[in-house]
Chains A and B, each alone.
Chain A
Amino acid sequence: MPIGPFGIDPLIWAPLRLVIAVALALFLVLNGALLQIYLERKIQAIIQDRVGPYHVGPFGLLQTFADALKLISKEDVRAAATDGWFFVAAPALVFCPMLASWVVLPFAQDIVGANLNIGLLYLTTLGSMTVLGIVIAGWASNNKYALVGGLRSAGQLISYEIPQILALVSVVLVVGSLSMIDITRSQAGPFVNVLVLPFSFLIYFIAALAETNRTPFDLPEAESELVAGWLTEYSGMRWGTMLALSEYGNVTVVCAIIATLWFGGWQGPGVDAIPLLGVLWFTLKVYGFILVMMWIRATLPRLRIDQLMAFCWKGLIPAALLNIVVVATLALAFPTTKVPIAIASWVLVVAFIAGIPFVQRRRLQTLRARARAAAAPAVRAAS
């Protein structure tokens, strides 16, 4: 009989390993959501010069536990006109792809659920499945706010998936692998990918904000227009699964992708001596990006839906395509060195940021001209 790890028969070890991985992922998702909601409240409170939660536990640390208990013990309210099976299935359809994507996140050298050689493709695939649940949730609620919210969300997610995947392509072109482990390994030392490919990082970060429904792209849940978007009819733990667990889980997954692809994943000082130190570096990097997302949420106002779509299709997608062309050409022309790619990427970043005011000014000019043209006949009629 062959003996696998820990002297267990491989046939038993394989399912056992799966169960352990799923249990660990669930544990991390649940606790991560609690911690992130607390962080979000505290950070927004600090930025807005408030105190934030402070009654329950030391520094209000147990506030989210109390909230979770409240959500679990709430009555399961369902409007009579909702669509039975779909209404129940939608939270699961949103939650399951998010949970499944934790399988390929590399926490440390050997701490990873599965080393898929298509890890990155797997992650984007699961990311694209979330939309299905959101559309179904909006539709099954039998509520106009929920439907409009669901449709907006679907449009937004489908649109921003494109620059997101295009940004990933340039990393794959430089590294030459889709496996999360290989991508991490390729960034040993201080020269992580963000120094080589800052432009694709910028595009991915913007698209990721939209993909996880974070401000300034949290249109689907625009309270002032749509009550709570596709979540309007949900309450209790269904709402908790959808919003708290899935949204914060997705934020964590996206930040883990950013940390792995552009910031060296679990690589850090002392990892070669103590491999478990990788978990610490990985977690620190991931939470660093989560904090940046929360900072952005407390700082920026929300976009309008047409601005959001126009920015994606007219701004981000052409930029991402240009990035791919540049990186692919330079990678073919200089196969041995990454310096030309780095120079070109930094030039693109500077051009992108410096170009925004010019584009904005031209847009304002056309808008004013249109307004003047619309007002002119009215003036003529009055005179």
Chain B
Amino acid sequence: MTLDVIEPAVFAILSIGVIGGGVAVVMLSRITAAALLMALTFLSMAGMFVLLGAETIAAFQVLIYVGAITVLILYGVMFTKFSDQPRALFFQRQTPLAAVFVAAVAVPVVIVGSISFAGGPARPGGGDLPALATSVFTDFAFPFEIASVLLLAAMVGAIVLTKRDDPEEAAARRRR
């Protein structure tokens, strides 16, 4: 038994995590369970990145998607109306139709992929931190900056949209 056996086994477990978690997120009608399973999906994706030798990307995946986005979603869920009863949303009645569409996309991808995809072994060093940082700040500096400007604009917009005047101050201004 060598590492060559362990790697596909780990890959299989992670694939089940990604695909099973993803399907469950869509199928479940309990929103908190869906959020937790989404965290599982992200964690399995991070495991995939580790398997490919990109530990840095795996760490960022967990840091941002599990640590921030999932928590934010749960945060949002808890501020909405407090009932977690399973309830059939309108789009969840279309499961058979959705399955047909998914099959229409997935089956050709699998067939084409298994026939024509002859990917070489993963290039090591792609997830290495210095290499990653150098490429982000040299080759991809412009997209990187554009993305940060976009995020800044979104943040300012969110503040402007949700900012409410202090009721006391507004009342005082009206009296004046």
Chain B residues bordering chain A, tally (CB within 8 A): 30
Complex Cα spacing A151 to B77, Å: 11
**Partner among B33, B63, B78, B79 whose Cβ is within 8 Å of the Cβ of A128:** B63
CB neighbors of B among A134-188 (8 A): 135-136, 138-139, 147, 150-151, 154-155, 158, 161, 178
Cβ of B36 and Cβ of A374 under 8 Å apart? Answer: no
Residues on A with C-beta less than 8 A from B63 are 121, 124-125, 128
A83 at the interface (CB under 8 A from B): yes
A11 at the interface (CB under 8 A from B): yes
Cβ of B78 and Cβ of A139 under 8 Å apart? Answer: yes
B13 at the interface (CB under 8 A from A): no
Complex Cα spacing A374 to B75, Å: 34
B89 at the interface (CB under 8 A from A): no
Complex Cα spacing A183 to B33, Å: 40
Complex Cα spacing A12 to B88, Å: 50
Complex Cα spacing A275 to B142, Å: 48
**Given that A128-B63, A129-B67, A374-B168 are contacting pairs, would A139 and B74 also be in contact in the complex, using a CB cutoff of 8 Å?**
yes
B50-80 toward A: CB 8 Å interface, digit per residue (1/0)? 0000011001101100111011101100110
Residue among B39, B62, B71, B172 having the largest count of chain A Cβ atoms under 10 Å: B71
Given contacts A11-B2, A118-B55, A132-B39, 19 further A-B contacts (CB under 8 A): A11-B1, A11-B3, A89-B36, A116-B55, A121-B56, A124-B63, A129-B67, A132-B67, A132-B74, A135-B78, A136-B36, A151-B75, A151-B78, A155-B75, A158-B71, A161-B67, A370-B168, A373-B172, A377-B175
Listed A/B pairs (20) with beta-carbon separation below 8 Å: A83-B32, A83-B84, A86-B33, A86-B36, A118-B56, A121-B56, A125-B63, A125-B67, A128-B63, A129-B66, A132-B36, A135-B78, A136-B32, A136-B36, A136-B74, A138-B78, A147-B78, A151-B75, A154-B75, A377-B172
